[in-house]
Amino acid sequence: MLIIVTYDVSTETRAGRRRLRRVAKVCESMGQRVQKSVFECRVDLMQLEQLERRLLAEIDEEEDNLRLYRLTEPVDLHVREYGKFKAINFEEPLII
Amino acid sequence: MLIIVTYDVSTETRAGRRRLRRVAKVCESMGQRVQKSVFECRVDLMQLEQLERRLLAEIDEEEDNLRLYRLTEPVDLHVREYGKFKAINFEEPLII
């Protein structure tokens, strides 16, 4: 199945940027980053539980918002994309 | 059906913030904002086409990335949320 992970965190603070980097790292180990704070992870049920557990260990539930959306197969039917895919820019505002 | 709209735009520029405001306005007319750049819109097929057309009229395809994910009913089975839902803060960085 495909899980869409969306993560809302303030990147104005160093701690927020750090959490976003760590969330990205977890998601990228199971999928890919498609927007600055949106990730697509292809997982089975056991991996989903693992993904969720690892994400919950990284986020600050008092400050952040994390959503997981489960897409039904065939995924091609359920995703439309427009505009530029700019993977190379994702880290730019985070490194500064 | 529930459509998840995710929109990646640089909010460092005035034009980017303006586009995000306008995309939010379109999405909020058909649903609600759940994260700074994530929206959940409950629509039928005709409304989906309308939503898509209106969004494409607002974004800059050279600069931004827009993704629409279609969730299957029952939606409750396909969405998990964690952390704070801070709707009141969404406009803060946009107004400044």
List, for residues A13-67, the tens digit of each pLDDT value: 999 999 999 999 999 999 999 999 999 999 999 999 999 999 999 999 999 999 9
* Strand-pair category, B2-8 with B65-71: antiparallel
Kindly report the number of other CB atoms within 10 A of residue B20's CB atom: 23
Interface A:B, Cβ pairs < 8 A? 123
The whole-chain average pLDDT of chain A stands at 86
- Classify the C-alpha dihedral A17-A19-A22-A26 as positive or negative: negative
Q: Compute the half-sphere exposure of residue A88: CA atoms within 13 Å on the CB side of its CA.
A: 2
A4 within 8 A of A40, measured Cβ to Cβ: yes
Q: Which domains does chain B have, with CATH numbers?
A: 2-95 (3.30.70.240)
Positive or negative: CA dihedral B57, B58, B60, B66:
negative
Look at residue B84 in the predicted model and tell me its pLDDT: 82
Nearest to A86 among B65, B68, B77 (CB): B65
pLDDT of A91 strictly over 90: no
CA distance B95 to B70: 30
A86 and A38 in contact (C-beta within 8 Å)?
Answer: no
pLDDT at B75: 77
Please tell me if residue B64 touches chain A, with a CB cutoff of 8 Å. yes
> Is B78 close to A69, i.e. CB distance below 8 A?
yes
**Interchain contact, B79 vs A70, CB within 8 Å:** yes
Indicate the SS3 state at residue A26. Answer: helix
Confidence class of residue A88 from pLDDT cuts 50, 70 and 90? very low
- What is the residue-level pLDDT of chain B in tens, covering all 96 positions? 899 999 998 888 999 999 999 999 999 999 999 999 999 999 999 999 999 999 999 999 999 999 999 998 777 778 888 988 754 445 454 443
